[in-house]
Amino acid sequence: PSLSSSSRIVTHDIPVGVIPRRLWNDFREPSVPDFDVSIYLPALKTMRSVVERMKNLSNSIVIEANLNGEMNLKIETDLVCVTTHFKDLGNPPWGSEDGCQSSAQGRVLGNMVEARIDIKKLQQLLAGQQVNPTKALCNIVSKRIVHFVLLHEDVSLQYFIPALA
């Protein structure tokens, strides 16, 4: 018997077109539907390690949050249900002064709002963050979409992950 090992380097060429500054005004941020809950995220490094472990068990993950600053990451299969709880995260103070409106105004604080998303898409988002953002928040439109906003100095990165049916 012999033991052999080999390595392979794979390179992907992805074309990138840089938009000239003079054309920036031609582009607008996508409109965000009224969300049911908005919550600050825990440390992305912590979330990444939780999602890494969960992805071995399921193809989808349920993100649920409420207006009490609580968020859960949950997977459910025929054999197991695993939930990670995050508490005291805080909720952004959305109001009319910044133009963002939320349909959360009439909600009961403890009621959870959830969306089931593709766990691989969430993992890609978390794995791609090389710089820890100053603030990271998550907006959930119940059973429709999860909208992540990562703020770092003058840069705002937004990610939209649609809910699975």
Domain boundaries along the sequence of the chain: 39-93+104-162
Q: 79 by DSSP, 3-state: which?
A: coil
pLDDT at res. 154: 82
Q: Is the pLDDT of residue 1 over 70?
A: no
Q: Categorize the per-residue pLDDT at 88 as very low, low, confident or very high, splitting at 50, 70 and 90.
A: very high
Q: Please compute the mean of the pLDDT values over residues 15-37 and round it to a whole number.
A: 87
pTM given for the model: 0.76
Q: Categorize the per-residue pLDDT at 71 as very low, low, confident or very high, splitting at 50, 70 and 90.
A: very high
**Nearest of 87, 86, 101, 85 to residue 38 by alpha carbon:** 101
- Distance (Å, rounded) from C-alpha 141 to C-alpha 116? 11
The amino acid present at 90, given as its one-letter code, is G
CATH, range 39-93+104-162: 3.70.10.10
Of 28-32, 44-48, 64-68, 75-79, minimum mean pLDDT range = 28-32
